Structure 1
Amino acid sequence: MSRMNPVLSFISHNRYWFVIIIGGLLVGVIDDNSFLTRAQYALQIKNLKEQISMYNSQYGRDEQKLNELRRNPKAITKIARENYMMKAEDEDIFVLSDDETNNNKENETTE
């Protein structure tokens, strides 16, 4: 019992500090509104704002393209030719490729 007496005396003497420290740990680390959770939310908000600005700029570019398509009928044929490989009835299209082919292909059955 003599061993417990100094410990209990220390705890009872500094009980307000213990309550403040334990309360601070509960609020700062474990609680739903803890500092860690707030930092994660701030990072998530930052990422979402970057995505919003990216989508707004993409929206602006797409709106410009759409206005161009509405005003200029030649833009429709340009996009059809470039993106979808469409052609007029009286023309031929040649697609050239820079890919190198491997001429030394070995057949599996030649072994």
Structure 2
Amino acid sequence: MSFFSNLKKNPIFKILTNTFVIIFIPFIIWMLFFDENSYLTHREFNKEIEDLESTITFYEEKLDSDKEMIKNLQDSLKLERFAREKYLMKKENEDIYIIEFDTIKK
């Protein structure tokens, strides 16, 4: 019996048996882990937002480089060079030889 009487005098026991604490602790646990708007859900959403923002920056950079390429291809000589290199186009009565180098070292 002395154990319980000593336990009741303990300040930690008094705090933990407080009605407010008994209600507040499960509420916090519920809000952090089980609720629809839980911390875990928000963390997943934040990660998805970061991924989407990185995708946006990638496509913005790609768009800028494509705009620069379109600007460069306005010149007929650069357009002809691009068509020859990228799509292997040729003029009439012209032969194209493709030379590929073996990049794998033996």
Both proteins in one fold, TM over 0.5: yes
Question: Helix, strand or coil for the counterpart of 2:65?
Answer: helix
Unaligned runs of 5+ in 1: 1-9, 100-111
Q: Shift in Å at residue 91 of structure 1?
A: 2.1
Question: Helix, strand or coil for the counterpart of 1:94?
Answer: coil
- Partner residue, 1:47: 51
Question: Is 2:12 the counterpart of 1:23?
Answer: no
**Residues 53-75 of structure 1: per-residue CA shift (max 9 Å, x gap):** 111000000001111222x0112
Residue 47 of structure 1 aligns to which amino acid in structure 2?
D
Question: Is 2:60 the counterpart of 1:32?
Answer: no
Residue 55 of structure 2 aligns to which amino acid in structure 1?
Q
Question: Is 2:99 the counterpart of 1:96?
Answer: yes
Measured on the aligned residues, the alpha-carbon RMSD in Å equals: 2.0
**TM-score with structure 2 length normalisation?**
0.72
Q: Shift in Å at residue 81 of structure 1?
A: 0.4
Counting aligned pairs with the same residue, the percent is 29
Q: Distance in 2 between matches of 1:85 and 1:67?
A: 21
Query: What is the aligned residue count?
Result: 88
State the 4+ residue runs in structure 1 displaced beyond 6 angstroms: none
